[in-house]
């Protein structure tokens, strides 16, 4: 039976059979293809990161937790470092939540109790004498009051760090506010906080002037002043430089055999800045060993292997080339510490 159409009807193909319909389909197809290409490009950029395996020979060997009273160190990402002599344990920063990149950029963040609990359990942390915060950005200070509360620790840091503690309800007597130059005696440790400067990226600087109650924007965690933290124990000395910034002359006259050197974003600065940074930190304290820290992508969970930041943000290979070249010229040993490994930071140093 022959189909009849009313005037104006286009039949089964409808409008899509018209030139305008075909053009719309082509345009939509091109748009989808372009979006796919953009997505693939973004994915490639975010996954293009240096290969840590090329530095495998520089990893410090695991030493075991029982050092007979000797100092042991465990690197836990960014500048979170556990120092323990079997009697007294001290943690710098204590950042374990590590929220994802998208959430950090577009939403509000807060400490993750489950992630904190898993990390403390895996690291064998039950009691701490202190949690020492190098500055108050979220990737250093956000979790610190929660960690202090769980472990009975004293929270040590700037007034801004104290305001993070107050926002989480940490008791005032559990906090020690420092301004730089103070030395704390904790067991056999002497811990000195020296005023420093943050790496000069200009983001989230300033002071936290009131209790900061999470969830909050990442940019609400203002730097609040930075510290170099010098640990002295049993005749050995170790410096934690949590950010690749420096205060000119601040460390001259201090001594540290080992420097845990923050290298985050160091590749984005010029040779003059990098040379000054090395001189004012590593050279100033007469270090014989450098262990790079704050190189890992802290938007990745700590349950996963640590990976350097994507090259889009930072080039760990370039930073390591600089560190290795300067170290070779000055006879300084360079090692890396694997996450969760209990190591002797002075292993092989006489």
For range 93-99, the mean pLDDT: 98
In a domain, 274, yes or no: yes
Q: How confident is the model at residue 69 (pLDDT cuts 50, 70, 90)?
A: confident
CB 216 within 8 A of CB 109: yes
Helices (H), the chain: 19-47, 101-106, 113-123, 138-141, 144-151, 159-167, 271-278, 284-285, 316-330
Within 10 Å of residue 56's Cβ, how many Cβ atoms? 10
Helices (H), 55-133: 101-106, 113-123
pLDDT at residue 97 is higher than 70: yes
E-assigned strand segments in 5-117: 72-75, 81-84, 89-92
Largest CA distance in the chain: 103
In a domain, 16, yes or no: no
How many structural domains are present in the chain?
A: 1
In a domain, 119, yes or no: yes
Share of the chain above pLDDT 90, in %: 81
pTM of the model: 0.86
Where in the sequence is the domain holding 203, given as residue range(s)?
A: 61-343
In a domain, 14, yes or no: no
**CATH number, domain with residue 259:** 3.60.15.10
In a domain, 49, yes or no: no
For range 48-76, the mean pLDDT: 88
In a domain, 252, yes or no: yes
Residues 6+ away with beta carbon under 8 Å from 234: 69, 70, 71, 85, 188
Query: How confident is the model over 308-348, as pLDDT tens digits?
Result: 999 999 999 999 999 999 999 999 999 999 999 999 999 99
Q: How confident is the model at residue 203 (pLDDT cuts 50, 70, 90)?
A: confident
Query: Does a cis peptide bond (omega within 30 degrees of 0) precede residue 346?
Result: no
226: region left, alpha or beta (phi > 0 left; psi from -120 to 50 alpha): beta
CB 111 within 8 A of CB 217: no
Within 10 Å of residue 190's Cβ, how many Cβ atoms? 14
Share of the chain above pLDDT 70, in %: 87
pLDDT at 205: 95
E-assigned strand segments in 168-225: 175-177, 183-186, 189-196
For range 52-68, the mean pLDDT: 85
In a domain, 24, yes or no: no
pLDDT at residue 3 is higher than 70: no
Query: How confident is the model over 175-197, as pLDDT tens digits?
Result: 999 999 999 999 999 999 999 99
In a domain, 52, yes or no: no
């Amino acid at each position: 039976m022959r189909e009849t159409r009313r005037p104006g009807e286009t039949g089964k193909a409808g409008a899509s059979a018209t030139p305008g319909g075909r053009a719309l389909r082509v345009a939509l197809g091109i748009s989808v293809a372009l979006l796919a290409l953009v997505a693939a490009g973004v994915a490639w950029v975010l996954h293009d990161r240096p290969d840590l395996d090329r530095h495998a020979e520089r990893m410090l060997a695991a030493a075991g937790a029982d050092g007979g009273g000797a100092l042991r160190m465990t690197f836990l990402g960014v500048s979170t470092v556990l120092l323990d002599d079997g009697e007294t344990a001290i943690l710098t920063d204590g950042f374990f939540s590590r929220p994802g990149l998208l959430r950090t950029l577009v939403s509000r963040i807060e400490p993750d109790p489950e992630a904190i609990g898993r990390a403390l359990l895996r690291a064998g942390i039950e009691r701490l004498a202190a949690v020492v915060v190098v500055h108050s950005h979220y990737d250093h200070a956000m979790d610190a009051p929660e960690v202090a509360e769980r472990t009975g620790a004293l929270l040590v840091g700037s007034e801004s760090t104290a305001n993070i503690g107050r926002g989480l309800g940490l008791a005032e007597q559990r906090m020690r506010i420092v301004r730089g130059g103070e030395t704390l005696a904790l067991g056999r440790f002497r811990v000195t906080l020296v005023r420093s400067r943050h790496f000069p990226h200009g983001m989230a600087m300033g002071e936290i002037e009131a209790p900061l109650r999470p969830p909050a924007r990442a940019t609400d965690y203002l730097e609040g002043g930075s510290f170099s933290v010098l640990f002295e124990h049993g005749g050995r000395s170790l410096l934690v430089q949590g950010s690749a910034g420096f205060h000119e002359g601040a460390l001259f006259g201090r001594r540290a055999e080992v420097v845990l050197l923050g290298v985050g974003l160091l590749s984005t600065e010029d040779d003059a800045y990098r040379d000054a940074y090395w001189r004012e930190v590593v050279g100033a304290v007469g270090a014989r060993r450098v262990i790079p820290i704050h190189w890992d992508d802290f938007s990745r969970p700590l349950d996963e292997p640590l990976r350097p930041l994507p090259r889009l943000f930072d080039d760990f290979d370039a930073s390591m080339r600089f560190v290795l070249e300067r170290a070779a010229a000055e006879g300084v040993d360079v090692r890396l510490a694997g996450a969760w490994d209990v190591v002797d930071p002075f292993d092989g140093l006489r």
